[in-house]
């Protein structure tokens, strides 16, 4: 059965180790988490990214994320910090700012969903049934292909990528 990129992301992002690592990669290394998750989802469902798909995904994500997702995230973060840091505003004003922040957060999530739907549409490779070892190797290769040569690699980044891969390939917790 095919799992959409959005469904895959929602499922794996609910794991504490995945969400924490993704946020660290986003905040400390300025990486596009949707593009990283796309690389791993592609490995799970199709295997290695071909050059054309990789380039199309990167081109789209850099433009879209920069113009839309990151702008919304920046606005949301600003509203939270401003509402917390202003002593001279009324409770009503603070609540209004935090309500607006919640609305921006919902819009940001909607924008990420749209980005993921578009990334899935970019992938033209047929769905394949792959064993876990093949998926894991493709996921590692895809992640490093997404980073390309323009990303400065250091031990902290390598550790986070290893943590992410391990968290994405561990069996889900039993209910």
pLDDT at 12: 96
- Classify residue 93: in a domain, yes or no: yes
pTM recorded for the entire structure? 0.92
pLDDT at 7: 97
Q: Which domain holds residue 150?
A: 5-169
Q: Which two tokens stand for residue 160?
A: 């986070």
Please identify which residue in the block is written with the tokens 């609305």.
Answer: 103
Q: How far apart are CA 35 and CA 16, in angstroms?
A: 19
- Classify residue 42: in a domain, yes or no: yes
Percent of the chain with pLDDT over 70: 96
- For residue 13, give Cα distances in angstroms to 40, 88, 93, 152: 12, 38, 33, 25
Task: Answer whether residue 175 shows pLDDT above 60.
Answer: no
pLDDT at 173: 65
Backbone angles phi, psi at 9, to 5 degrees: -60, -45
Three-state secondary-structure class, residue 150: coil
- Classify residue 69: in a domain, yes or no: yes
Q: Which of 95, 117, 139 is nearest to 6 (CA)?
A: 117
Task: Answer whether residue 174 shows pLDDT above 70.
Answer: no
Task: Answer whether residue 1 shows pLDDT above 80.
Answer: no
Q: How far apart are CA 69 and CA 43, in angstroms?
A: 24
Give the residue ranges of DSSP H helices in the chain.
5-13, 16-29, 33-45, 51-64, 70-85, 91-122, 132-147, 155-169
End-to-end CA distance of the chain: 22
- Classify residue 113: in a domain, yes or no: yes
- Classify residue 9: in a domain, yes or no: yes
Is-contact 18 101, C-beta < 8 A?
A: no
- Classify residue 175: in a domain, yes or no: no
Instruction: Give the count of domains, the chain.
Output: 1
- Classify residue 116: in a domain, yes or no: yes
pLDDT at 153: 87
Is-contact 46 125, C-beta < 8 A?
A: yes
Backbone angles phi, psi at 49, to 5 degrees: -75, 130
Is-contact 128 47, C-beta < 8 A?
A: yes
Q: Can you tell me the mean pLDDT for 117-122?
A: 98
pLDDT at 81: 86
- Classify residue 174: in a domain, yes or no: no
């Amino acid at each position: 059965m095919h799992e959409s990129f959005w469904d895959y992301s929602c499922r794996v992002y609910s794991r504490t180790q995945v969400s924490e690592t993704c946020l660290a990669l986003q905040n400390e290394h300025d990486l596009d988490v949707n593009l990283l998750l796309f690389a791993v989802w592609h490995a799970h469902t199709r295997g290695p990214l071909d050059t054309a798909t990789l380039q199309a995904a990167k081109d789209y994500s850099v433009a879209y994320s920069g113009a839309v997702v990151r702008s919304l995230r920046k606005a949301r973060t600003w509203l939270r910090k401003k509402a917390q840091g202003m002593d001279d505003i009324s409770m009503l004003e603070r609540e209004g700012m935090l309500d607006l922040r919640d609305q921006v957060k919902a819009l940001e999530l909607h924008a990420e969903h749209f980005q993921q739907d578009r990334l899935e549409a970019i992938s033209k490779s047929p769905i394949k049934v792959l064993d876990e070892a093949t998926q894991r190797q493709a996921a590692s290769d895809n992640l490093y292909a997404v980073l390309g040569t323009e990303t400065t690699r250091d031990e902290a980044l390598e550790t986070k990528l290893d943590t992410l891969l391990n968290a994405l390939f561990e069996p889900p917790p039993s209910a």
